[in-house]
Structure 1
Amino acid sequence: MNANASSQKTTEPHKHLELDQGALDAASRSLDEGAVTPSYGPWRDDVVKLLNDALATELVCVLRYKRHYFTANGVESPAIAEEFLVHANEESAHADRIAERIVQLGGEPDFAPTHLLERSHAGYDESTDLQAMVRANLVAERIAVEAYRQMIVLIGDKDPTTRRMLEDILSDEEEHADELKDWLGH
């Protein structure tokens, strides 16, 4: 290290890690806002919209997996159908987490059936062939993986709680895609 770089380092003032007292004081007001404090920022409505679209996607996935679970037939169908049911239940749990977060953010979770397909990133599927079912579910999982990755990037540090929830869900969706890939061609 040259002397110049060394002297620059020592002349820089030391900054303390301190909480913003003004934000803490503001958090003690507007109690009807629940977990959303005034310093949350201008992103709440955008985050709620992203989450409502994710909610629609999860609900459509539950319906698609349930249909496939009940209509799967063929030699491989019992094992694959069981996997469809496991995935349906996990997607339902994702939907519950997302809806809960929407409410925490002061939003309204949209469960309206007429809105689901128009807001869902993934489609519904009425295939009767087992491999077509696996393929349709794999496509939907891949779309969900991409959508969650984009949401995580968009949210970044604007809402760490929502980002962590989406990262957890993304991990499950990647696992679903890997499991479905393994069923292709059976």
Structure 2
Amino acid sequence: MDLKQSGRDTTQGPIDVAAIRQAARNLEDGAVSSGYQGNREEIIEMLNAALATELVCAMRYKRHYYTATGLVNEPIKAEFLTHAQEEEEHAGRIAERIVQLNGEPDFNPATISQRSHAEYDECTDIKGMIRANLVAERIAIESYRQMIERIGDTDPTTKHLLIDIMAVEEEHADDMRDLLD
């Protein structure tokens, strides 16, 4: 099958390898190629908000892990700890992407809670903890959905990163919903 039959646009001609090679010699831009179409400043700002959200979520889950009591709650505590670790992994992936976009990940503790879309929670009862985590997961899911929509096809790498993270957040929400039953 030729390119026309596959539905790919062939009107622009072959790929200009010489131009790609020349543009790649601009080493100051790191992973950002000359064909990058995203609004880097806006995407970095969104990613720093996502980073703050993931950090707040990790702290909330850890607090719930350490403060939940009772032998009957041990499986729930284990779920909280697993989610905290996954949120920390998300934060790391987001921070790495920010650096790839020539930005700086914002780990400033003084501003994390203001930049986070989710809220911290100090519940002391297990049902309240589960509810707070479910609400936070739903906030994260919708935040990621809107970021993905806003980025569109201008930055496929960031879009795919956010889609991957959002899928895990959906699993977290399902887990919390199941614990409420």
| TM-score of the aligned structures, taking structure 1 as reference length | 0.87
Output aligned runs, 1:32-181, within 5 Å: 32-41=28-37, 43-181=39-177
Larger radius of gyration: 1
Could you tell me how far apart the structure 2 residues matched to 1:42 and 1:80 are? Answer: 41
> What are the Cα deviations for residues 12-37 of structure 1, in whole angstroms up to 9, with x where unaligned?
xx736632557514532320211112
Could you tell me how far apart the structure 2 residues matched to 1:20 and 1:141 are? Answer: 45
> What are the Cα deviations for residues 86-141 of structure 1, in whole angstroms up to 9, with x where unaligned?
00000000000000000000000000001101000000000000000000000000
Residues 96 and 79 (structure 1 numbering): CA distance in 2 closer, same or farther, change over 3 Å? same
Contact 2:118 2:139 in 1 (8 A): yes
Unaligned runs of 5+ in 2: 1-9
Partner of 1:5: none
Residues 42 and 90 (structure 1 numbering): CA distance in 2 closer, same or farther, change over 3 Å? closer
Deviates more, 1:48-57 or 1:31-40: 31-40
Detail structure 1 runs of 4+ shifted over 6 Å in the superposition: none
The alignment's C-alpha RMSD in Å is 1.6
Identity of aligned residues (%): 57
Contact 2:32 2:100 in 1 (8 A): yes
